Structure 1
Amino acid sequence: MKIGYRKPSVKKSLSARTTGRAKRAIKSSVNPVYGKKGMGLLNDPKKAVYNKVYNKTSYNVFDAEKSNSNFGCSYAMVITVIFILLLLHSIIDYFLSFGERFSKIPFYFLGLAILLFVIIKIMQKRISSSFDEVPNIPDIDEIFYEQPSEKETTDTEKPIFKTMVSVVGMNYRKENAEKALGMMVGNRTDQVKLVREPTNPYDHLAIKVYLFDIFIGYIPRKGMKELRKLIQDESLTIKVIATEDIVSDDDLNCLLEIEIYK
Protein backbone atom coordinates (compact mmCIF):
# COMPACT_ATOMS: atom_id res chain seq x y z
CA MET A 1 0.00 0.00 0.00
CA LYS A 2 1.46 3.35 -1.06
CA ILE A 3 1.58 6.17 1.53
CA GLY A 4 2.28 9.79 0.63
CA TYR A 5 2.66 11.39 -2.79
CA ARG A 6 0.86 9.57 -5.63
CA LYS A 7 2.43 9.90 -9.07
CA PRO A 8 -0.19 10.71 -11.74
CA SER A 9 -0.59 8.21 -14.58
CA VAL A 10 -2.17 9.31 -17.86
CA LYS A 11 -2.50 5.68 -19.01
CA LYS A 12 -4.47 4.64 -15.92
CA SER A 13 -6.61 7.75 -16.12
CA LEU A 14 -7.59 7.02 -19.71
CA SER A 15 -8.20 3.32 -19.07
CA ALA A 16 -10.49 4.15 -16.14
CA ARG A 17 -12.78 6.08 -18.47
CA THR A 18 -14.49 3.06 -20.00
CA THR A 19 -17.71 4.92 -20.80
CA GLY A 20 -17.84 7.92 -23.10
CA ARG A 21 -19.29 11.26 -22.08
CA ALA A 22 -22.30 10.99 -24.41
CA LYS A 23 -23.06 7.46 -23.23
CA ARG A 24 -22.84 8.54 -19.58
CA ALA A 25 -25.21 11.43 -20.28
CA ILE A 26 -27.76 9.10 -21.85
CA LYS A 27 -27.54 6.61 -18.97
CA SER A 28 -27.88 9.36 -16.35
CA SER A 29 -30.97 10.75 -18.11
CA VAL A 30 -32.62 7.32 -18.05
CA ASN A 31 -31.46 6.32 -14.56
CA PRO A 32 -31.25 9.25 -12.08
CA VAL A 33 -28.90 7.35 -9.74
CA TYR A 34 -26.40 6.38 -12.45
CA GLY A 35 -22.93 7.65 -11.62
CA LYS A 36 -23.89 8.91 -8.16
CA LYS A 37 -21.54 8.13 -5.31
CA GLY A 38 -22.73 5.27 -3.13
CA MET A 39 -25.50 4.16 -5.50
CA GLY A 40 -23.67 1.48 -7.50
CA LEU A 41 -23.26 -2.25 -6.98
CA LEU A 42 -20.28 -3.51 -4.98
CA ASN A 43 -18.95 -6.22 -7.28
CA ASP A 44 -15.47 -6.52 -5.70
CA PRO A 45 -15.49 -5.69 -1.95
CA LYS A 46 -11.76 -6.37 -1.56
CA LYS A 47 -10.86 -3.94 -4.33
CA ALA A 48 -13.28 -1.35 -2.93
CA VAL A 49 -11.63 -1.48 0.52
CA TYR A 50 -8.19 -1.23 -1.09
CA ASN A 51 -9.18 1.84 -3.12
CA LYS A 52 -10.73 3.50 -0.06
CA VAL A 53 -7.57 3.07 2.03
CA TYR A 54 -5.33 3.99 -0.92
CA ASN A 55 -7.16 7.26 -1.51
CA LYS A 56 -6.99 8.13 2.19
CA THR A 57 -3.27 7.39 2.66
CA SER A 58 -2.00 9.04 -0.53
CA TYR A 59 -2.50 12.21 -2.54
CA ASN A 60 -1.83 13.30 -6.10
CA VAL A 61 -0.36 16.44 -7.58
CA PHE A 62 -3.78 17.86 -8.44
CA ASP A 63 -4.89 17.75 -4.79
CA ALA A 64 -1.69 19.52 -3.79
CA GLU A 65 -2.20 22.21 -6.41
CA LYS A 66 -5.79 22.71 -5.30
CA SER A 67 -4.83 23.13 -1.64
CA ASN A 68 -1.98 25.48 -2.57
CA SER A 69 -4.26 27.57 -4.76
CA ASN A 70 -6.82 27.88 -1.96
CA PHE A 71 -4.11 28.89 0.48
CA GLY A 72 -2.76 31.41 -2.04
CA CYS A 73 -6.20 32.97 -2.54
CA SER A 74 -6.72 33.35 1.22
CA TYR A 75 -3.25 34.84 1.68
CA ALA A 76 -3.78 37.30 -1.17
CA MET A 77 -7.13 38.39 0.30
CA VAL A 78 -5.53 39.14 3.68
CA ILE A 79 -2.77 41.19 2.04
CA THR A 80 -5.36 43.09 0.00
CA VAL A 81 -7.41 43.93 3.09
CA ILE A 82 -4.33 45.18 4.95
CA PHE A 83 -3.31 47.28 1.96
CA ILE A 84 -6.79 48.83 1.67
CA LEU A 85 -6.80 49.65 5.39
CA LEU A 86 -3.42 51.35 5.18
CA LEU A 87 -4.49 53.27 2.09
CA LEU A 88 -7.72 54.38 3.73
CA HIS A 89 -5.84 55.44 6.85
CA SER A 90 -3.39 57.51 4.81
CA ILE A 91 -6.17 59.24 2.86
CA ILE A 92 -8.15 60.14 5.98
CA ASP A 93 -5.02 61.26 7.82
CA TYR A 94 -3.98 63.44 4.86
CA PHE A 95 -7.30 65.27 4.53
CA LEU A 96 -7.93 65.63 8.26
CA SER A 97 -4.43 66.43 9.52
CA PHE A 98 -5.41 70.05 10.19
CA GLY A 99 -8.35 69.13 12.45
CA GLU A 100 -8.59 67.84 15.94
CA ARG A 101 -7.77 64.19 16.67
CA PHE A 102 -11.26 63.32 17.90
CA SER A 103 -12.77 64.54 14.62
CA LYS A 104 -11.03 61.68 12.74
CA ILE A 105 -12.77 58.93 14.75
CA PRO A 106 -16.17 58.97 12.90
CA PHE A 107 -14.44 58.76 9.54
CA TYR A 108 -12.34 55.80 10.72
CA PHE A 109 -15.47 53.94 11.80
CA LEU A 110 -17.30 54.85 8.60
CA GLY A 111 -14.44 53.63 6.43
CA LEU A 112 -14.09 50.43 8.45
CA ALA A 113 -17.84 49.72 8.17
CA ILE A 114 -17.77 50.20 4.40
CA LEU A 115 -14.74 47.94 4.07
CA LEU A 116 -16.31 45.20 6.20
CA PHE A 117 -19.54 45.43 4.18
CA VAL A 118 -17.63 44.94 0.92
CA ILE A 119 -15.64 41.99 2.34
CA ILE A 120 -18.81 40.28 3.64
CA LYS A 121 -20.53 40.65 0.25
CA ILE A 122 -17.52 39.14 -1.52
CA MET A 123 -17.41 36.18 0.88
CA GLN A 124 -21.16 35.55 0.52
CA LYS A 125 -20.82 35.49 -3.26
CA ARG A 126 -17.96 32.97 -3.07
CA ILE A 127 -19.91 30.71 -0.69
CA SER A 128 -23.08 30.78 -2.82
CA SER A 129 -21.10 29.98 -5.98
CA SER A 130 -19.46 26.99 -4.27
CA PHE A 131 -22.91 25.65 -3.27
CA ASP A 132 -24.20 26.08 -6.82
CA GLU A 133 -21.46 23.79 -8.13
CA VAL A 134 -22.73 20.88 -6.01
CA PRO A 135 -25.11 18.74 -8.13
CA ASN A 136 -28.66 18.31 -6.94
CA ILE A 137 -28.75 14.61 -6.05
CA PRO A 138 -32.31 13.31 -5.57
CA ASP A 139 -33.21 11.83 -2.23
CA ILE A 140 -33.26 8.04 -2.05
CA ASP A 141 -36.93 8.10 -0.91
CA GLU A 142 -37.89 10.14 -3.97
CA ILE A 143 -36.03 7.72 -6.25
CA PHE A 144 -37.85 4.66 -4.93
CA TYR A 145 -41.15 6.55 -4.89
CA GLU A 146 -40.85 7.28 -8.61
CA GLN A 147 -40.27 3.64 -9.49
CA PRO A 148 -43.40 2.00 -11.02
CA SER A 149 -45.14 -0.65 -8.97
CA GLU A 150 -45.30 -4.28 -9.99
CA LYS A 151 -48.95 -3.97 -10.99
CA GLU A 152 -48.25 -0.99 -13.26
CA THR A 153 -45.46 -2.78 -15.13
CA THR A 154 -47.76 -5.60 -16.28
CA ASP A 155 -49.91 -4.71 -19.27
CA THR A 156 -52.78 -7.07 -18.37
CA GLU A 157 -53.60 -9.41 -15.52
CA LYS A 158 -53.06 -13.09 -16.13
CA PRO A 159 -56.23 -15.19 -16.38
CA ILE A 160 -56.84 -17.89 -13.78
CA PHE A 161 -58.30 -20.16 -16.46
CA LYS A 162 -57.90 -20.21 -20.23
CA THR A 163 -59.17 -22.72 -22.76
CA MET A 164 -60.67 -23.18 -26.21
CA VAL A 165 -63.91 -25.12 -26.66
CA SER A 166 -66.20 -25.98 -29.53
CA VAL A 167 -69.93 -25.17 -29.29
CA VAL A 168 -72.11 -28.29 -29.41
CA GLY A 169 -75.68 -28.66 -30.68
CA MET A 170 -75.35 -26.15 -33.52
CA ASN A 171 -76.70 -28.59 -36.12
CA TYR A 172 -79.97 -28.79 -34.16
CA ARG A 173 -80.27 -25.01 -34.47
CA LYS A 174 -78.84 -24.74 -37.96
CA GLU A 175 -80.92 -21.76 -39.04
CA ASN A 176 -79.97 -19.69 -35.99
CA ALA A 177 -76.31 -20.75 -36.23
CA GLU A 178 -76.05 -19.82 -39.91
CA LYS A 179 -77.64 -16.45 -39.23
CA ALA A 180 -75.28 -15.68 -36.31
CA LEU A 181 -72.16 -16.87 -38.12
CA GLY A 182 -73.16 -14.79 -41.15
CA MET A 183 -73.09 -11.66 -38.99
CA MET A 184 -69.43 -12.20 -38.08
CA VAL A 185 -66.92 -9.84 -39.69
CA GLY A 186 -63.53 -11.40 -40.31
CA ASN A 187 -64.64 -14.72 -38.79
CA ARG A 188 -63.94 -13.38 -35.29
CA THR A 189 -66.06 -11.48 -32.75
CA ASP A 190 -66.49 -10.83 -29.04
CA GLN A 191 -70.29 -10.49 -29.21
CA VAL A 192 -70.74 -13.70 -27.23
CA LYS A 193 -72.81 -14.34 -24.12
CA LEU A 194 -72.67 -17.37 -21.85
CA VAL A 195 -75.93 -17.89 -19.98
CA ARG A 196 -76.38 -20.40 -17.15
CA GLU A 197 -79.36 -22.78 -17.40
CA PRO A 198 -79.90 -24.36 -13.96
CA THR A 199 -83.43 -25.49 -14.91
CA ASN A 200 -82.12 -27.81 -17.61
CA PRO A 201 -83.57 -31.26 -16.81
CA TYR A 202 -80.55 -33.10 -18.20
CA ASP A 203 -77.70 -30.96 -16.82
CA HIS A 204 -78.02 -28.38 -14.02
CA LEU A 205 -74.60 -26.92 -15.00
CA ALA A 206 -75.61 -26.36 -18.62
CA ILE A 207 -74.22 -23.20 -20.25
CA LYS A 208 -76.05 -21.73 -23.24
CA VAL A 209 -74.07 -19.86 -25.92
CA TYR A 210 -75.54 -16.74 -27.53
CA LEU A 211 -73.84 -15.21 -30.58
CA PHE A 212 -75.15 -11.73 -31.44
CA ASP A 213 -78.01 -12.49 -28.99
CA ILE A 214 -78.91 -15.58 -31.02
CA PHE A 215 -78.97 -18.94 -29.24
CA ILE A 216 -76.67 -21.30 -31.18
CA GLY A 217 -75.75 -24.13 -28.77
CA TYR A 218 -74.13 -25.22 -25.51
CA ILE A 219 -70.73 -25.48 -23.88
CA PRO A 220 -69.73 -29.18 -24.14
CA ARG A 221 -70.32 -31.27 -21.05
CA LYS A 222 -67.52 -33.76 -21.48
CA GLY A 223 -64.13 -32.64 -20.12
CA MET A 224 -65.36 -29.16 -19.20
CA LYS A 225 -66.39 -29.68 -15.58
CA GLU A 226 -63.94 -27.11 -14.18
CA LEU A 227 -64.88 -24.50 -16.80
CA ARG A 228 -68.60 -24.94 -16.19
CA LYS A 229 -68.15 -24.56 -12.42
CA LEU A 230 -66.12 -21.36 -12.87
CA ILE A 231 -68.79 -19.87 -15.13
CA GLN A 232 -71.33 -20.42 -12.35
CA ASP A 233 -69.32 -18.02 -10.12
CA GLU A 234 -70.77 -14.54 -10.69
CA SER A 235 -67.77 -12.80 -9.05
CA LEU A 236 -65.44 -13.83 -11.89
CA THR A 237 -64.94 -11.92 -15.14
CA ILE A 238 -65.31 -13.95 -18.33
CA LYS A 239 -63.89 -12.92 -21.69
CA VAL A 240 -65.05 -14.88 -24.75
CA ILE A 241 -63.96 -14.64 -28.40
CA ALA A 242 -65.89 -16.59 -31.03
CA THR A 243 -64.23 -17.91 -34.19
CA GLU A 244 -65.98 -19.70 -37.04
CA ASP A 245 -64.45 -23.11 -37.68
CA ILE A 246 -65.40 -24.53 -41.09
CA VAL A 247 -65.20 -28.32 -40.90
CA SER A 248 -67.39 -29.15 -43.89
CA ASP A 249 -70.21 -27.63 -45.86
CA ASP A 250 -72.83 -29.58 -43.90
CA ASP A 251 -71.46 -29.26 -40.35
CA LEU A 252 -71.40 -25.92 -38.51
CA ASN A 253 -68.80 -25.30 -35.84
CA CYS A 254 -67.87 -22.32 -33.68
CA LEU A 255 -64.78 -22.17 -31.48
CA LEU A 256 -64.79 -20.15 -28.26
CA GLU A 257 -61.60 -18.73 -26.72
CA ILE A 258 -62.53 -18.37 -23.06
CA GLU A 259 -60.46 -16.50 -20.44
CA ILE A 260 -61.59 -16.15 -16.82
CA TYR A 261 -60.22 -13.45 -14.49
CA LYS A 262 -60.69 -12.76 -10.81
Structure 2
Amino acid sequence: MSKRSYYAPHGGHPPQTQLLSDRAVFTEAYAVIPKGVFGDIVTSNLPFWNDTRLWVLARPLSGFAETFSQYIMEVAPGGGSERPELDPAAEGVLFVVEGEMTLTLAGERHHMTPGGYAFIPPGSDWQLHNASAAPVRFHWVRKAFEFVDGLEVPEAFVTNENDIAPVEMPDTEGRWATTRFVDPADVRHDMHVNIVTFQPGGVIPFDETHVMEHGLYVLEGKAVYHLNQDWVEVEAGDFMWLRAFCPQACYAGGPGPFRYLLYKDVNRHPALRLGAR
Protein backbone atom coordinates (compact mmCIF):
# COMPACT_ATOMS: atom_id res chain seq x y z
CA MET A 1 0.00 0.00 0.00
CA SER A 2 1.39 3.42 -0.95
CA LYS A 3 2.24 5.96 1.74
CA ARG A 4 -0.76 8.10 2.70
CA SER A 5 -0.61 11.87 2.51
CA TYR A 6 -2.84 14.24 4.48
CA TYR A 7 -2.84 18.02 4.16
CA ALA A 8 -3.17 20.02 7.38
CA PRO A 9 -3.23 23.82 7.81
CA HIS A 10 -0.59 25.50 9.96
CA GLY A 11 -2.03 29.00 10.12
CA GLY A 12 0.14 32.06 9.72
CA HIS A 13 -0.73 35.42 8.19
CA PRO A 14 -0.35 36.55 4.56
CA PRO A 15 1.95 39.48 3.73
CA GLN A 16 0.65 42.89 2.71
CA THR A 17 2.03 42.22 -0.80
CA GLN A 18 -0.35 39.30 -1.43
CA LEU A 19 -3.05 39.80 -4.07
CA LEU A 20 -6.61 40.00 -2.79
CA SER A 21 -8.01 37.63 -5.42
CA ASP A 22 -8.53 34.03 -4.33
CA ARG A 23 -10.65 30.97 -5.15
CA ALA A 24 -13.23 31.35 -2.37
CA VAL A 25 -16.83 30.86 -3.54
CA PHE A 26 -20.06 30.99 -1.54
CA THR A 27 -23.40 30.29 -3.27
CA GLU A 28 -26.82 28.97 -2.28
CA ALA A 29 -25.89 25.53 -3.66
CA TYR A 30 -22.23 25.13 -2.72
CA ALA A 31 -19.21 26.79 -1.13
CA VAL A 32 -15.48 26.45 -1.72
CA ILE A 33 -13.18 27.54 1.12
CA PRO A 34 -9.59 27.41 -0.21
CA LYS A 35 -6.66 26.44 1.96
CA GLY A 36 -5.29 30.01 1.90
CA VAL A 37 -8.22 31.12 4.07
CA PHE A 38 -7.07 29.11 7.08
CA GLY A 39 -4.82 31.68 8.72
CA ASP A 40 -4.35 32.69 12.33
CA ILE A 41 -7.04 35.38 12.33
CA VAL A 42 -9.91 32.99 11.59
CA THR A 43 -9.23 30.47 14.35
CA SER A 44 -11.59 29.86 17.27
CA ASN A 45 -11.36 28.47 20.80
CA LEU A 46 -13.64 26.09 22.69
CA PRO A 47 -14.63 25.84 26.36
CA PHE A 48 -12.66 23.27 28.38
CA TRP A 49 -10.03 22.74 25.66
CA ASN A 50 -6.50 23.69 26.74
CA ASP A 51 -3.73 24.84 24.38
CA THR A 52 -6.08 24.28 21.46
CA ARG A 53 -7.36 26.27 18.52
CA LEU A 54 -9.57 25.29 15.60
CA TRP A 55 -10.76 26.27 12.17
CA VAL A 56 -14.53 25.92 11.71
CA LEU A 57 -15.18 24.55 8.22
CA ALA A 58 -18.95 24.20 8.48
CA ARG A 59 -21.75 24.79 10.98
CA PRO A 60 -25.55 24.54 10.86
CA LEU A 61 -26.71 27.81 9.34
CA SER A 62 -29.59 28.97 7.18
CA GLY A 63 -28.34 28.84 3.61
CA PHE A 64 -25.30 26.76 4.53
CA ALA A 65 -24.63 23.41 6.23
CA GLU A 66 -27.85 22.08 7.74
CA THR A 67 -26.97 18.68 9.23
CA PHE A 68 -23.40 18.89 10.57
CA SER A 69 -20.44 20.91 11.79
CA GLN A 70 -16.82 20.24 10.93
CA TYR A 71 -13.62 21.55 12.53
CA ILE A 72 -9.90 21.20 11.99
CA MET A 73 -8.51 20.98 15.51
CA GLU A 74 -4.94 21.91 16.44
CA VAL A 75 -3.85 20.77 19.90
CA ALA A 76 -0.42 21.87 21.14
CA PRO A 77 1.87 19.60 23.19
CA GLY A 78 0.33 19.12 26.62
CA GLY A 79 -3.07 20.32 25.42
CA GLY A 80 -6.43 18.60 25.19
CA SER A 81 -9.70 18.32 27.04
CA GLU A 82 -11.36 16.41 29.85
CA ARG A 83 -14.78 17.69 28.65
CA PRO A 84 -14.50 17.81 24.85
CA GLU A 85 -18.19 17.47 23.92
CA LEU A 86 -20.85 19.48 25.78
CA ASP A 87 -23.88 18.31 23.76
CA PRO A 88 -25.14 14.90 24.96
CA ALA A 89 -27.02 14.36 21.68
CA ALA A 90 -23.96 14.91 19.48
CA GLU A 91 -22.15 12.08 17.75
CA GLY A 92 -18.69 12.62 16.34
CA VAL A 93 -15.96 11.38 14.06
CA LEU A 94 -12.28 12.21 14.61
CA PHE A 95 -9.73 11.81 11.80
CA VAL A 96 -6.03 12.52 12.41
CA VAL A 97 -4.09 14.25 9.64
CA GLU A 98 -0.87 15.21 11.43
CA GLY A 99 0.83 14.34 14.73
CA GLU A 100 -0.36 11.96 17.40
CA MET A 101 -2.76 12.00 20.33
CA THR A 102 -4.34 9.86 23.01
CA LEU A 103 -8.09 9.33 22.91
CA THR A 104 -9.61 7.87 26.06
CA LEU A 105 -13.00 6.41 25.23
CA ALA A 106 -15.11 4.76 27.97
CA GLY A 107 -11.92 4.39 30.00
CA GLU A 108 -9.91 2.72 27.22
CA ARG A 109 -6.85 4.56 25.87
CA HIS A 110 -6.20 4.69 22.12
CA HIS A 111 -2.97 6.04 20.61
CA MET A 112 -3.95 7.72 17.34
CA THR A 113 -1.59 8.68 14.51
CA PRO A 114 -2.19 10.01 10.94
CA GLY A 115 -5.00 8.05 9.32
CA GLY A 116 -6.50 7.33 12.75
CA TYR A 117 -10.31 7.35 12.80
CA ALA A 118 -12.71 7.25 15.75
CA PHE A 119 -16.51 7.12 15.85
CA ILE A 120 -17.93 8.53 19.09
CA PRO A 121 -21.64 7.87 19.78
CA PRO A 122 -23.84 10.44 21.55
CA GLY A 123 -23.50 10.54 25.32
CA SER A 124 -20.03 8.97 25.30
CA ASP A 125 -17.48 9.47 28.06
CA TRP A 126 -14.29 10.55 26.31
CA GLN A 127 -11.19 12.68 26.74
CA LEU A 128 -8.38 13.71 24.41
CA HIS A 129 -4.78 14.74 25.09
CA ASN A 130 -1.57 15.42 23.22
CA ALA A 131 1.33 13.93 25.14
CA SER A 132 3.77 14.29 22.23
CA ALA A 133 6.34 17.01 21.55
CA ALA A 134 4.57 18.38 18.43
CA PRO A 135 1.06 19.69 17.65
CA VAL A 136 -1.60 17.24 16.55
CA ARG A 137 -4.13 18.23 13.89
CA PHE A 138 -7.36 16.34 13.27
CA HIS A 139 -10.82 16.74 11.81
CA TRP A 140 -13.81 16.65 14.13
CA VAL A 141 -17.17 16.09 12.43
CA ARG A 142 -20.22 16.53 14.67
CA LYS A 143 -23.88 15.76 14.05
CA ALA A 144 -27.02 15.70 16.20
CA PHE A 145 -27.75 11.98 16.28
CA GLU A 146 -31.23 11.07 15.04
CA PHE A 147 -32.55 8.47 17.45
CA VAL A 148 -35.03 5.89 16.08
CA ASP A 149 -37.29 3.87 18.35
CA GLY A 150 -36.28 0.22 18.03
CA LEU A 151 -32.77 0.91 16.71
CA GLU A 152 -29.77 0.71 19.00
CA VAL A 153 -27.21 3.49 19.04
CA PRO A 154 -24.11 2.23 17.19
CA GLU A 155 -21.11 1.39 19.31
CA ALA A 156 -17.88 3.39 19.45
CA PHE A 157 -14.84 2.20 17.51
CA VAL A 158 -11.29 3.32 16.72
CA THR A 159 -9.38 2.24 13.61
CA ASN A 160 -6.93 3.54 11.00
CA GLU A 161 -7.38 4.10 7.28
CA ASN A 162 -4.30 1.96 6.62
CA ASP A 163 -6.11 -1.06 8.07
CA ILE A 164 -9.10 -0.81 5.72
CA ALA A 165 -9.08 -1.88 2.07
CA PRO A 166 -10.73 0.65 -0.28
CA VAL A 167 -13.77 -0.57 -2.23
CA GLU A 168 -13.49 0.08 -5.96
CA MET A 169 -16.49 1.51 -7.77
CA PRO A 170 -17.77 -0.90 -10.44
CA ASP A 171 -16.41 -0.54 -13.98
CA THR A 172 -13.77 2.05 -13.04
CA GLU A 173 -10.62 -0.13 -13.32
CA GLY A 174 -9.68 1.01 -9.81
CA ARG A 175 -9.59 4.71 -10.72
CA TRP A 176 -12.36 5.51 -8.20
CA ALA A 177 -12.51 3.87 -4.77
CA THR A 178 -13.98 4.56 -1.33
CA THR A 179 -12.55 3.70 2.07
CA ARG A 180 -15.65 2.95 4.15
CA PHE A 181 -15.37 3.00 7.92
CA VAL A 182 -18.99 1.91 8.48
CA ASP A 183 -21.00 -0.80 6.72
CA PRO A 184 -23.45 1.07 4.42
CA ALA A 185 -26.13 -1.50 5.30
CA ASP A 186 -25.93 -0.67 9.03
CA VAL A 187 -28.92 1.67 9.36
CA ARG A 188 -28.08 2.46 12.97
CA HIS A 189 -25.67 5.04 11.57
CA ASP A 190 -27.18 8.31 10.34
CA MET A 191 -23.96 9.70 8.88
CA HIS A 192 -21.00 8.36 6.95
CA VAL A 193 -17.53 9.92 6.99
CA ASN A 194 -15.47 8.14 4.34
CA ILE A 195 -12.38 8.75 2.22
CA VAL A 196 -12.79 8.89 -1.55
CA THR A 197 -9.77 8.33 -3.82
CA PHE A 198 -9.44 9.07 -7.53
CA GLN A 199 -6.36 8.03 -9.45
CA PRO A 200 -5.10 10.52 -12.08
CA GLY A 201 -7.65 10.64 -14.90
CA GLY A 202 -10.44 9.23 -12.74
CA VAL A 203 -13.83 10.90 -13.03
CA ILE A 204 -17.34 11.06 -11.66
CA PRO A 205 -18.78 10.78 -15.18
CA PHE A 206 -22.21 12.29 -14.45
CA ASP A 207 -23.66 15.07 -12.33
CA GLU A 208 -24.63 13.37 -9.08
CA THR A 209 -27.84 15.00 -7.85
CA HIS A 210 -29.10 13.56 -4.59
CA VAL A 211 -30.63 14.27 -1.18
CA MET A 212 -27.41 13.86 0.82
CA GLU A 213 -25.59 16.96 2.04
CA HIS A 214 -21.81 16.83 1.67
CA GLY A 215 -18.73 18.23 3.31
CA LEU A 216 -15.52 17.47 1.39
CA TYR A 217 -12.03 18.25 2.66
CA VAL A 218 -9.28 17.60 0.12
CA LEU A 219 -6.56 15.54 1.79
CA GLU A 220 -4.28 15.12 -1.22
CA GLY A 221 -3.95 16.08 -4.88
CA LYS A 222 -6.04 18.32 -7.10
CA ALA A 223 -9.08 18.14 -9.37
CA VAL A 224 -11.66 20.13 -11.28
CA TYR A 225 -15.16 19.96 -9.79
CA HIS A 226 -18.41 20.63 -11.64
CA LEU A 227 -20.80 22.19 -9.12
CA ASN A 228 -24.24 23.42 -10.13
CA GLN A 229 -23.02 24.25 -13.68
CA ASP A 230 -19.81 25.94 -12.47
CA TRP A 231 -16.30 24.54 -12.90
CA VAL A 232 -14.01 25.11 -9.91
CA GLU A 233 -10.44 23.99 -9.29
CA VAL A 234 -9.64 22.47 -5.90
CA GLU A 235 -6.47 21.16 -4.28
CA ALA A 236 -5.18 19.67 -1.04
CA GLY A 237 -6.32 21.79 1.92
CA ASP A 238 -9.52 23.09 0.29
CA PHE A 239 -12.98 22.46 1.77
CA MET A 240 -16.24 22.17 -0.17
CA TRP A 241 -19.79 22.24 1.14
CA LEU A 242 -22.48 20.87 -1.21
CA ARG A 243 -26.13 21.42 -0.44
CA ALA A 244 -28.60 18.57 -0.91
CA PHE A 245 -29.37 18.12 -4.64
CA CYS A 246 -26.43 20.27 -5.77
CA PRO A 247 -25.27 18.70 -9.08
CA GLN A 248 -21.69 17.48 -8.68
CA ALA A 249 -19.04 15.74 -10.76
CA CYS A 250 -15.25 15.85 -10.90
CA TYR A 251 -12.14 15.07 -12.94
CA ALA A 252 -8.87 14.19 -11.19
CA GLY A 253 -6.10 15.77 -13.21
CA GLY A 254 -3.06 14.30 -11.45
CA PRO A 255 -0.14 13.92 -11.32
CA GLY A 256 -0.91 12.01 -8.10
CA PRO A 257 -4.09 10.67 -6.47
CA PHE A 258 -6.94 13.04 -5.56
CA ARG A 259 -8.32 12.15 -2.12
CA TYR A 260 -10.90 13.75 0.16
CA LEU A 261 -12.63 13.19 3.48
CA LEU A 262 -16.36 13.02 2.74
CA TYR A 263 -19.30 13.62 5.10
CA LYS A 264 -22.87 12.73 4.16
CA ASP A 265 -26.14 12.24 6.05
CA VAL A 266 -27.81 8.86 5.47
CA ASN A 267 -30.41 6.29 6.60
CA ARG A 268 -33.13 8.54 7.98
CA HIS A 269 -36.51 9.86 6.81
CA PRO A 270 -36.30 13.48 5.65
CA ALA A 271 -38.00 15.80 8.14
CA LEU A 272 -41.45 16.82 6.92
CA ARG A 273 -41.42 20.10 8.84
CA LEU A 274 -38.76 22.69 8.15
CA GLY A 275 -36.40 23.03 11.08
CA ALA A 276 -37.45 19.71 12.62
CA ARG A 277 -34.95 16.87 12.68
What band does the TM-score fall into relative to the shorter chain? under 0.3
Instruction: Return the index of the structure with the highest Cα Rg.
Output: 1
Of structures 1 and 2, the one with the larger relative CO (CA 8 A, separation 6+) is: 2
What TM-score, normalized to structure 2? 0.17
Higher helix share: 1
Higher strand share: 2
